Amino acid sequence: MTTHENRSDIAFGEWDGNTAAARELQMRLAEKVVLADDFGALKLIAGVDVGFEDGGKITRAAAVLLDAETLEPLAQALARIPTRMPYIPGLLSFRELPAVLQALDALGQMPDLIFADGHGIAHPRGLGIAAHLGVITGLPTIGVAKKILTGQHAPLGERRADQVDLLDKGGKFIGTVLRSKEKVRPLIISPGNRVSLMTAPELVMRFVTRYRLPEPTRLADRLASRRDEKRAVVQPALDR
DNA sequence: GCGACAG
DNA sequence: ATCTTGTCGC
C-alpha cells in the first residue's frame, strides 16, 4: 500500500469545517508519539516543505532526499494538488500533509529521518505537522520552525549553536530554541517522532552548513517556494 | 472577554 | 504561506 492509503480520517477526506473533530484527532494521535531516540544509522535523510500557487488554490509540496553523510541531494519530488482547507493556527498539518505524503511517496525511497517545516510536539495539543507526519508514516521526524506557536523560554545566547529550552505553561520541556547561525533569528526545534528532545537540536546542527536552515528543509523550501526558478530564469524581453 | 496564533 | 524592489547592514 502507498503511504497515504488506508487512512480515511479527517486529514484526507473533504474538509467539512469541523475544527473540533480535528483537534480531538490530534489529541489521540499525540499519544502515539515516541519521544525516545529510536532510529538506526542515518544513511538517508529528507526535508519536506509546502508552498502555494495561484493565490493559495494549489498546494505545492516538495520532498528532497539527501545523503546523510555528504549532504548531497539524491532525489527530489513535487506534488501539486488542490488546496482543501484554509490555514488555521494549530491545524496546519491537516492543510499540508496530504500533499507532503504524495511528495514523499514520489521520492521512491523512504528516508531514515525527515525534517519538516513547522513544529513537532511544541504545539498546543502536542501534534504539530512534524509529529503528525511521524505518527502517520511511523518514521523518525523533527520539526524545524521559524517562529514559536506555543511556549516560552529564557534569553538566548548570540553564538552559533547556543540553545535554550522551550517550556509550555506548566514548565514542561517541549522543544529547543536554537541559534543555528550567528546574527539570525533562532529556529524552534522539537521532536516529531522517534527522536528525543535532547537529540533533536543536535541532529539539526549536524545538517546546518552556512545557512539558517538545515540542508533538508532549506532545499525543500526552495523547491516548494520556487526560489530556484525565480533565481535561474533570465528576464526575457528586457534586452532590447 | 482579550490577545495570540507554525505555514 | 503570498503579494513585492530596492536597500541597509553584516
Q: What is the pLDDT of residues A25-52, one digit of tens each?
A: 999 999 999 999 999 999 999 999 999 9
Domain interval for residue A163:
35-227
Q: Is residue A121 part of a domain?
A: yes
- CA A134 to C1' C7, in angstroms, rounded, equals 42
Residue A2: is its pLDDT beyond 70?
no
Average pLDDT, chain A: 92
Judge if the beta carbon of A183 is closer than 7 A to nucleic acid strand C: yes
Domain harbouring A61, CATH code: 3.30.2170.10
The DSSP H or E segment spanning A174 is strand A173-178
pLDDT at A214 over 60: yes
User: Looking at the C1' of nucleotide B6, which residue has the nearest alpha carbon?
Assistant: A118
With b for 16 or more beta-carbon neighbours within 10 A and e for fewer, the A102-131 pattern comes to: bbbbebeeebebbbbbbbbbbbebbbbbbb
Q: Is A49 annotated as a binding residue?
A: yes
Query: For residue A26, which of A11, A15, A5 has the smallest C-alpha distance?
Result: A11
How many separate domains does chain A show? 1
pLDDT in tens, A52-94: 999 999 999 999 999 999 999 999 999 999 999 999 999 999 9
Beta strand pairing status for A113-117 and A73-82? unpaired
